[in-house]
A and B are shown apart, each in its own frame.
Chain A
Amino acid sequence: MNKKSTRQHDSKMGKPQKKRSLADKVRKTKTSTEIKNNPFEVKINRKKFEVLGRKSKHDVGLPGVSRSKAINKRKETLLKEYKQKNKSSKFIDRRLGEYDTNMAPEDKILQRFAIERQRAHDKKDMYNLNEEEELTHYGQSLAEMEKFNDNVNSDDESEEKGLLSAELTASHFGGGGGLLRRKSGDQPDEEGIQRARSRQELIEELIQKSKQEKRERQAQKEEAQELTEKLDQDWKSIQMLMVQKTPKAEKEEEKPKLEEYDMRVRELGFEMKAQPSEKMKTPEELAREEREKLQKLESDRLRRMMGEEAGSSAPTQIHMSADDLNDGFILDKDDKKTLAYQDGLWNIAEEGGGEDGEDGEEGESGEDDESEEEEQDEDGENNEEGEEEEVDEEEEGEEEEGSSEGEGEDGHSDLDSESEQESEDDGRKQDDEENNATQQKSLSKEEMKAQQEAAKAELPYTFTAPESYSDLKDLLCGHTPDNQRLIVARTQKCNHPSLAVGNKLKLQKLFGFLLEYVGELATRSPPELSTIDKLIPELYTLCQMFPEAACTAMQSFLADAGHSLEEVLEVKGRGAFPALDMLIYLKVTALLFPTSDFRHPVTTPALLYISQALTKCPVRSLQDVTSGLVLCCLAVEYVSFSKRFLPELINFLAGTLHLAVKDKSSLGYAVVPPFRSSGKNNDLLVLSDVESCKKWSKKELPLSATQHLELKTDLDRDQHRLMCLSTCLDLVKRCCLLYKDLTSFPHIFQPIRTLLFKHLLAQTLPEPLQELHSTILEVIGSVSVTNNPLVFEKKKPIPLKLLTPKIVEVLDYGKKRGSTKEQKEQERLKHKYKKEFKGALREIRKDSRFLATEKLNEVMSRDAERKRKVKELMGSLATQEGEWKALKKRKRK
């Protein structure tokens, strides 16, 4: 009934629906752009303001489209519901598992498919030609294809198959019609004869045909297979007979040959391209580069002097020793040449060439020494250490052969093999542990060089890094200073950090031990300062390699010295001048670290220590004076570049000059502790005999004079005094020049000026000192005593307060602001609710309107129907009436 009614309804509604559907159709046929471009479809929403950067979604509306959409939607939902109203009959979907939510969609599909198949089986079984259902592809059974048992005959059969398949496909996809058509085209006479044959018969014939074909094909296939198998067997037997001699190896060889070829080709592809080597630099270029580097370092130094924070590019990075190969550097082609040397000469030449830029640790003087040594030893090397050298040579020769044969395929493996051989060589001298360690690591060029160098001297070539200070002492004991240096250098090279994991630590320790050794050398009597002098380059190299370790080692010495001085000061209130070793340490510090930095972890404490020593240690002997002057020299060196003001230095120099003043009454200046204006030890530098001035000539004082002096006669003593005085005056002169720019220069040098002007007269001094004396006074006098009054540094004017707008996060425009978050949220929700409510209301209204129109339509259509029916009835009645009247008329007539 339902169905009927709907149909009825449809038919009834046909007219208006048709109309609408027509309009829809028109609309649908139009593309969206067409609609959008149609001015009748488009409604443009007026905007009050243009807001930059905002994308408006709703500037253009398509009311027609949206209305039709809405109506359609309602038709699908609301209208259906309305139609279903008060109806109890229902459509139930009885498909399998339609309402079963537990079932997975795949299962559903599978089961449905299974049922369908079952059903189909029953019905279509009779039409199924094969016993089993066979899936085919391209006319071939899939099952067959899956076997893949033979594809030898595929080539042979291709044509036939192609034909067959074409036929078959035609019959399959063309359907019966095609077959019929062909038949009709091909055999018109036969058709005529067999016209009587029914369709059934035809099909049966077809089936039989195809079955036969299949059988034939199978047989053919089997035959072919049999044949090929037989052929194979025959061939094998013949082969066995014919080529029994050919060995397997050859057969195998055949393959590698091919592979080798491939490999070679590939190798060519992968081979490192000859990289463009840097062109040889002209001396000018080299000089310029060097200068640029120095300029950069200098600017860095200046920056640090001003106390700015050091950037990432510290000079340490740039100035890494060329020997430092921490970065896993791989030998390049140039280096390979060095490996393939045949005799010492070649190698030396090579070395000489490579040395200029790379051998950072060798100072210029050291280099000379070395090369001399090398030259000397060149001749005798084979005799002296022939064995070693021979072994080296042999191995290297082998290596060369190997590489020429192409055993080593690339540089790395070459390197490895080499390193193994090398380390074997090493192992003869070094202990086993060392050997193992080195075996794992590849040897660098430096190692090679170190070895070859070692071969040219009498000393052993490799040294294990000393584990303790006493080890180092044992190592260096009894050698000449030059040899000691060489030993240290070799130890350092043998234990280069790139060679083994633990080497870095060993060398770091070595630095500490060396420092300690230096200290001990300085404390020996007489101090072996020349040895220290020789060790300086090594210390410098090690320091460049391990700045942190060097820093900590130096710091620990300084801290110890500072601490002990502090302790003595606390107990006694005064200290003793630092011993020679400490003086040497301070000097070494200045050599290793930049003294001009605004703040430096090593040099700042060192300078503090110097100042502490200069202020807290009273001068009680000529040795003390000498020590103090050494400290002053160091202090001047420390500040010579940065020109920083060191009050203690001036105080000490003034005090020292004060010691030389004969008449200590009525002083016009004040001396600063540790000096006192009067007291014992205050005439230390007063000459005992005025005549000694004449015999005096300037010469350098030995550093050991800080420890003990052997001055027997008064004359000797006077000579020493004058020496101290000359040093002191020279330092004063240097200070004057250094501090010329200081604003308080006159006040700083006022005591010295008075002293020199009034108390230590030039006439009492020897001639060279008189000159110094007058220069100092000149310099002091020449500096201007006037200064500008202090003002604050000009600052940028402080800008007026800018009243920048306060930015508040606004969620909904036009809403209240400044409320709390919860309130805002509540507002937002309220607003949303209102919007939704309104929307819902609108929708409901639209729905009811839609329903009303529908109802109206229904009523109208019903009325129309009724009217029509009534009309019909009336019409029929009228005809009846008419007929009846006509009959009656006729009767009457």
Chain B
Amino acid sequence: MAPTKKRNVSSSKPTKQSVITPKTEISHKVGRILKNRTRANDVFDLLEFLQSDNEKDFKRAVMSCNKLFCTLLKKKDLYIGKLPEEEEALSGNYSAEEKYHIFMRHRYNSCVEILLDLLCHEVHDVWESSLCCLMKFAAAEGQHPLEDLDWSEHYSFPRELIQRVVDRLLSKTVDNSMLISRFQEFLEMADVSYYTMSSIRESFGKIMDKNKGAVSPIYQYNVFALMSNISVPSQESELTNFMVKQEAKHEDWKAAKLNEHKRVFERMWLGFLKYKLPSSMYKKVLVILHDSILPHMSKPALMIDFLTAAYDVGGAISLLALNGLFVLIHQHNLDYPDFYKKLYNLLEPSIFHVKYRARFFYLANLFLSSSHLPVYLVAAFTKRLARLALTAPPAAILIVLPFIYNLIRRHPSCRVLIHKPSTEDEPLEDPYVMEEEDPALCRALESSLWEVKTLQRHYHPDVSKAAMLINSPLSEQEQDISEVLEITAYELMEKDLKQPENKNIPLEFEKASQLLVGGGNVLGQHFCLN
């Protein structure tokens, strides 16, 4: 091998100096450095290539760096322990061997530095390979720690390196969502995720303290992206994937304990939620809260404050907080005073127009499924929903009507809302008070669901048909709401558009002669052609 290499070099050098590909050069250099300590200075060339703009060069440089330093780590050719300054090392009384180690360690450090900088590179391949390389270093460091450790007390893990990577991931200026999603792959390893969580908490706390809570939304967004990518396994037995295997007392390692994971997870989130969040972030957190945060916390009750605060905000945020609250009430015995009253007051015309309509009605259905609710409350909800349906789009009405019917079915004493035979002859004004905030005082039970009667004249045939149901006693069987929750206006449209070819399509029989004439001539009265 050596002779061929030599010949190769000697033969090509004079003739094709310029043509020599960096590939051969770089790979040769790694070999040479590893073989011959006197060629150690070639490392600088490598580092130079690392910063080159040429993608190919860069890739090769990354690969060779990876190979070089991993080998060095394995051979323990990097200085272990507290690293002296370079000048100090030259002057100090170190042996030649040690000097070489110190030199190499310094190069390693600068290589890591360069790679960390490259994490923010805009080219996809560059940051990806940098990240991979860094994680490989981390793995190698874990196996062959650079710190002088007391083996009995400490577990070897490249905490510092991870911390630095995390710091880079949580950039304040650049949206790192791509990088973070790539990093998620490494988060599957239990120890990495454990130490990442603690690093996040540290760095977030530090930065928040420094800026007194006022930080760029991009930073928050990055933090959120990284945090939401971290998941804690549900069972301890699932904690099997580690980057670094501890040789001794592996079972006692914190990173191998589920409880520790949960605790770190909880502290991370609490630390994050302690600070004021922009409303979009608020919503994002609330959306994932109930199924990816609460179950992984060791004490979910700690979220109560956050959730009640969110519930009191009003609007969409309140709607979203419902879900978390439900989990707490349902599984953690949270006693929330005036919960139904607040729920009642959440019913605003806007709930039919927000994005989380389906989720809200799903939960409201759950909350109101209890058969121990007082009648006045159910009646108040029913009446209010019916009133709001007067302003709702058809897709929403198709949710609300079965919802109302289900409520009446569950609470037969609410049947007076649709059937009040005794006072049939005296017409009365609607006694229901829409503005009243307390469902107990809104006099819903004295009213009737005239709104549903109105909806019988709704323009959409499905709505109209659904509203017709109150004309006769409701069937015993409850309607499954989940089927209609996700229905969209376009789906409603499609239902008519994709109907099997009707043979007889009714046509307008009044002859159309002009564009603006016809149909009561409303358009023609207000608009002209030109």
Instruction: Tell me the bound Cα distance from A593 to B508 in angstroms.
Output: 5
Q: Are A786 and B458 touching (Cβ within 8 A)?
A: no
Q: Which residue of A lies closest to B504 (CB)?
A: A314
The reply to whether the CB of A607 lies closer than 8 angstroms to some CB of chain B is: yes
Contact A615 B353 (CB under 8 A): yes
In the complex, chain A residues whose CB is within 8 Å of the CB of B464 = 307, 598, 644
Q: Quick one: which of A408-439 are within 8 Å of B by CB?
A: none
Complex contacts, A637 vs chain B, CB 8 Å:
518-520, 522-523
Whether the Cβ atoms of B507 and A605 lie closer than 8 Å is: no
Question: What distance in Å separates the Cβ of A570 from its nearest Cβ neighbour in chain B?
Answer: 9
Contact B527 A633 (CB under 8 A): yes
Interface string of A655-681 (1 = CB under 8 A from B): 000000000000000101110000000
Q: Are B529 and A703 in contact (CB under 8 A)?
A: yes
* A548 within 8 Å of B (CB atoms): yes
Determine the chain B residues whose CB is within 8 A of the CB of A360 once the complex forms.
Answer: 511
Q: A551–B497 Cα gap in the complex (Å)? A: 9
CB-CB under 8 A from B455, the residues of chain A are 645
B331 in contact (CB, < 8 A): no
B458/A644 in contact, CB under 8 A:
yes
Contacts of B392 in A (CB 8 A): 647
- Chain B residues with CB under 8 Å of A315's CB are 506-507, 509
- B521 CB, nearest partner CB in chain A, Å: 8
Contact in complex: A734, B529 (CB < 8 Å): no
Q: Mark A555-591, 1 if CB is under 8 A from B, else 0.
A: 1001100110110000001000000000010011011
Of chain B, the residue at the smallest CB distance from A319 is: B509
CB closest chain-A residue, reference B348: A670
- Give 1 or 0 for each of B83-102: 1 = CB within 8 Å of chain A CB: 00000000000000000000
Assembled-state Cα–Cα distance A478/B48 (Å): 69
User: Do the beta carbons of A587 and B428 come within 8 Å of each other?
Assistant: no
A640 to B427 Cα, complex, angstroms? 28
Q: Which among A273-281, A361-369, A854-862 touches the partner chain?
A: A361-369
Q: Which of A518-536 contact B (CB under 8 A)?
A: 526, 529-530, 532-533, 536
A566 touches B458 (CB 8 A): no
Question: Nearest chain B CB to A541's CB is how many angstroms away?
Answer: 9
**Residue A110 is within 8 A (CB to CB) of chain B in the complex:** no
The contact size tier of chain A is: 35 or more
* Nearest CB in chain A: distance from B126 CB, A: 30
- A301 vs B453: C-alpha distance when bound (angstroms): 23
Chain A contacts with B in 340-372, Cβ cutoff 8 A: 360, 363-366
Nearest Cβ in chain A — how far from B436, in angstroms? 15
Chain B interface, number of residues (Cβ within 8 angstroms)? 78
Q: Mark A773-805, 1 if CB is under 8 A from B, else 0.
A: 000000000001111111111010000000000
In angstroms, Cα B523 to Cα A633, docked, is: 5
Chain A residues lying within 8 Å of B511, measured Cβ to Cβ, are: 360, 363, 537, 540
Q: Write the nearest CB–CB distance from B461 to chain A, whole angstroms.
A: 4
A593-B507, A672-B350 as given contacts; A701 in contact with B526, CB under 8 Å: yes
Q: What residues of chain A lie closer than 8 Å to B528, measured between beta carbons?
A: 700-703
Beta-carbon contacts under 8 Å, B460-504 to A: 460-461, 464-465, 470-473, 488-490, 492-494, 496-497, 499, 501-504
Cβ of A731 under 8 Å from chain B:
yes
Q: What's the nearest-Cβ distance from chain B to residue A44, in Å? A: 64
Can you sample 28 A-B contacts with CB below 8 Å?
Answer: A310-B504, A316-B505, A533-B514, A536-B515, A539-B512, A547-B507, A555-B497, A559-B494, A562-B494, A573-B355, A590-B519, A593-B508, A594-B508, A600-B505, A605-B497, A608-B489, A633-B522, A639-B459, A642-B459, A645-B455, A646-B459, A672-B353, A674-B353, A702-B527, A747-B430, A785-B429, A787-B448, A790-B448
Chain A residues within CB distance 8 Å of chain B: 294, 297, 300-301, 304, 307, 310, 312, 314-317, 319, 360, 363-366, 526, 529-530, 532-533, 536-537, 539-540, 543-544, 547-548, 550-551, 555, 558-559, 562-563, 565-566, 573, 584, 587-588, 590-595, 597-602, 604-605, 607-609, 611-612, 615, 629-630, 633-634, 636-648, 650-651, 670, 672-674, 700-704, 727, 730-731, 734, 742-748, 784-793, 795
Apart from A312-B504, A539-B512, A611-B394, what are 19 other A-B pairs with CB-CB below 8 Å? A300-B506, A307-B465, A310-B506, A530-B529, A555-B497, A608-B394, A611-B459, A633-B523, A633-B526, A636-B520, A641-B520, A644-B464, A645-B455, A672-B349, A672-B353, A734-B522, A744-B451, A787-B450, A792-B418
Interface set of B (CB-CB < 8 Å, partner A): 348-350, 353, 355, 387, 390-394, 417-421, 423-430, 434, 448-451, 453-455, 457-461, 464-465, 470-473, 488-490, 492-494, 496-497, 499, 501-509, 511-516, 518-520, 522-523, 525-530
Closest 5 CB pairs of A and B: A637-B519, A363-B513, A789-B420, A786-B427, A644-B459
